[in-house]
Amino acid sequence: MLYFVLLGCFLYSVYICDSIGKLFRSSTKFMSDTLFLIRDYSVYKFRDTFVSVFESGKLEFNDQTQIMELIYYKDSVRYKIAIPVKRGLRPIKTITFNSGDVEGNKKDIKTVKEFMGPYGNFHGIPTTPSMMGITRSLVITYRNNSVREYKPEEIIEVLCPK
């Protein structure tokens, strides 16, 4: 309950800062820019604090190394996962199952795509269908049209097999 009160107070203060910014916007651009900078910094710090208090994740992109860093908290300790960014076509074209259960297939395909991540490489982590909660064989068609079936305990290859 206390968190919701603090959230309400914070959002109200952001609203007040924005209102003050609107008053000064016409008189001095410097003052409004400063208020917007303070507001943006406050929102950033609040989000960072919120993420750490509720032990959820945050994603940052490092421009120098071209690596995405997933930051998460467990028992108030900060951890990071480095995710390599792979540009270009995704090697996996389609995901199917041999089973005829259409509704179950759609749900499991959605689960696999969530684990694959935005770059279709399972975030660089060796992954098996059983790690994703899938208890049946997974059939993957790669970009080069090769097809491979993975049993629940087999690690899924991200690169196209020859």
Q: Any bridge partners for residue 95, and if so which?
A: 140
pLDDT computed for residue 155 by the predictor? 92
Please list the alpha-helical segments (H only) found in the chain.
2-25, 29-53, 102-116
Q: If you ran DSSP here, which 8-state letter would residue 95 be given?
A: E
Q: Where are the domains of the chain?
A: 1-54, 57-85, 92-150
pLDDT computed for residue 106 by the predictor? 85
Q: Is the pTM of this model over 0.75?
A: no
pLDDT computed for residue 120 by the predictor? 82
pLDDT tens, per residue, the chain with 162 residues: 556 656 666 666 666 666 665 655 555 666 667 777 788 788 777 777 776 666 566 777 777 877 888 887 776 677 888 877 777 778 888 888 877 667 778 888 888 988 888 778 887 888 999 999 988 889 999 888 889 999 999 999 887 665
pLDDT computed for residue 29 by the predictor? 64
Measured CA to CA, the distance from residue 75 to residue 65 in angstroms comes to 28
Which tokens go with 52?
A: 């750490």
